[in-house]
Amino acid sequence: MNTKPEKKRGRPSKKNMLQIHGKEEASVKKQPSSLDEILGETLSIYTAKSSEDYRGQLAEMNMTDLQTHAYKVGLVPTPDRKVLTDRLSKEFVKWHSRYGTNVATGQVQTVADLDAKAQKILREGA
């Protein structure tokens, strides 16, 4: 009969522990995450360049076309036209903002178009 107590496992050695620092290990350059980015958005389901153009396209569609388009985009089609167009518009803005184009306002501004105060703020970071 063994009277010695069993050895309990202690803390792992520091060599075996991993330290997490919160920084991304990958390079700063954004890697393409979809086939559309690699091919230059040739397979995009959106043909509109701004949210106003897209809303115009949605207004011209009948209910069946809207539901088919929602299915292609990946949304659940609803029988309410207003709810469906709002969801499609939000998805359009979210999709375009993910890939780096500014379509929330419909216009992309350059630094020269901004007022003096905004230009001063932007120059501080450079």
Query: DSSP letter string over the chain?
Result: ---SPPPPP-PPPTTT-----S--SS-SSPPP-SHHHHHTSTT-S---SSHHHHHHHHHHS-HHHHHHHHHHHTPPP-S-HHHHHHHHHHHHHHHHHHTT---SSS-PPPGGGS-HHHHHHHHHT-
Is the predicted pLDDT of residue 83 greater than 90, yes or no?
yes
The pLDDT assigned to 89 comes to 93
pLDDT digits (tens, 9 = 90+) for 22-77: 766 665 566 766 666 666 654 567 778 788 999 999 999 999 999 999 998 889 99
The pLDDT assigned to 88 comes to 94
The pLDDT assigned to 2 comes to 63
Q: What mean pLDDT, rounded, does the chain reach?
A: 75
The pLDDT assigned to 103 comes to 44
Is the predicted pLDDT of residue 107 greater than 80, yes or no?
no
Is the predicted pLDDT of residue 111 greater than 70, yes or no?
no
The arithmetic mean of pLDDT across residues 81-108, rounded, is: 75
Of 83 and 4, the one with more pLDDT: 83
Is the predicted pLDDT of residue 123 greater than 50, yes or no?
yes
